[in-house]
Amino acid sequence: MRKHRVAVIGCGSIARGWHCPNIVNNPRTELAVVCDVNAQVAENFRKVFGAAASCTDWQDAVENPDVDVIVLCTHTNLRSEVIVPALASGKPVFVEKPLAATVSEMQRIVAAVRQTGVPVCVCHNRRSSPAILELRRLLHKAVASAGGLPASVDRSGQGRRESLPEERQIQILMRVNDDCRSWQDWIYRDNETILFAEMVHFIDVALWLNPSPPVRVFAEGSARGNFTLMLRFQDGSLTTITQSLCGHFDYPKELIEVTANHVTLAMDHHVEVRQRGLPDEPFRFTYPFKSDPDGKLAQGMEAFHEAVTLAHEQAAAGAPPFFVSPDKGHARHLDRFLDCIEGNGENPCDVVSAVTVTRITMKLLESIRLGVPLPVGPEDWHIPAV
């Protein structure tokens, strides 16, 4: 088995909570270097996660001959400056979302990938969530089928009524329950704020699930939170994303409901998928928690709520808080990228698809500031091949 020596650049909360633990726990990776502008933070990460070395200059990590892969966890103000030289040195890059904050910077990254042939994977990790992968499989099956199972109420003459073109459209509703107390202060000082920093995840899922290109977007609310986003696609399909920052962190964050061709699907917080309309599929699929690696806990939404309630009871009794974390695909996303590096699979999120997601998100950010719907043209979602 090939061992990939990894350098993590940027030792913030996302590196501490996700990337470094995933690297340490993956038998295919070795944490070679941790890098942060704060030497004390970098050295603390080295001790906590057992890295071979720490440094304060990202160039030292990129130029280190004992490093094979770069994991970039900085703010978007440091993207192409690191990625382009890393690719030139033959080091694949696994970069946090969003890909970059400007179109010109994204173009430089795409050009470097095409020139060097070295891959970059953007951490739109929902693409590797077991629950969302199941949701996507079921959606493809629903669209390709003759139509959903006969319903308990059917006034169409058992399907003899002429079908409507809308019946083949994909309607998606995403509810994001967020808690502004869980965010660090920088997000509220950032020019792009939560709409840009976080909604790329959900916009990516919307574009990934719908094969039709987007033609118009509209956003209403505050870019910091409490907003609704709408995407209209060329075939008439619609995606609506509603986000709240005044919710409670311990209530399930993500609910995605999809309807198409008389099939209804739901993905609930990455721990449960439900469906009605596909007769040869079970009603419910459940998935283990990320925080339960031994698989000892029950699965599904009821188990999630019971685990959270128990965690609150233990905290009230003086025990340390316990975060009941679903599997949102972080570890699997990295593993799939390692397969890509080794030539054994596709890149789970290449830069071309990430550019589309980021540009559509920028368009939504512009819409919420102007208060008007905005058109989306091919130049926003199509990058010509070279």
* Whether residue 239 is found in the same domain as residue 330: yes
* Whether residue 113 is found in the same domain as residue 197: no
Work out how many domains the chain is built from and give that number: 2
* Whether residue 251 is found in the same domain as residue 364: yes
**φ, ψ of residue 259 in degrees (nearest 5):** -125, 140
* Whether residue 144 is found in the same domain as residue 114: no
Give pLDDT tens digits for 247-267: 999 999 999 999 999 999 999
The pLDDT score that the predictor gives to residue 160 is: 81
Tokens of 324: 């009941």
* Whether residue 105 is found in the same domain as residue 134: no
Q: How far apart are CA 69 and CA 305, in angstroms?
A: 38
Q: Work out the pLDDT band at 287, boundaries 50, 70, 90.
A: very high
The pLDDT score that the predictor gives to residue 294 is: 63
* Whether residue 216 is found in the same domain as residue 81: no
Give pLDDT tens digits for 18-41: 999 999 999 999 999 999 999 999
* Whether residue 27 is found in the same domain as residue 111: yes
The pLDDT score that the predictor gives to residue 123 is: 97
The pLDDT score that the predictor gives to residue 292 is: 64
| 311 pLDDT above the threshold of 90 | no
Give pLDDT tens digits for 313-368: 988 888 887 788 899 999 999 999 999 999 999 999 999 999 999 999 999 999 99
Residue 293 in any domain: the answer is no
**236 is in which domain, residue-wise?**
127-151+165-287+326-347+355-379
The CATH number of residue 363's host domain is: 3.30.360.10
Residue 201 in any domain: the answer is yes
The pLDDT score that the predictor gives to residue 20 is: 97
Of the candidates 149, 201, 254, which has an alpha carbon nearest to the alpha carbon of residue 360?
A: 201
Give pLDDT tens digits for 171-208: 999 999 999 999 988 888 887 789 999 999 999 999 99
Tokens of 161: 């009524």
Percent of the chain's residues with pLDDT above 90: 81
* Whether residue 104 is found in the same domain as residue 249: no
Strands 238-244 and 171-177, by their bridges, are parallel
* Whether residue 93 is found in the same domain as residue 133: no
Sign of CA pseudo-dihedral 287, 292, 298, 304: negative
The CATH number of residue 38's host domain is: 3.40.50.720
* Whether residue 278 is found in the same domain as residue 142: yes
Strands 4-9 and 29-35, by their bridges, are parallel
The pLDDT score that the predictor gives to residue 321 is: 73
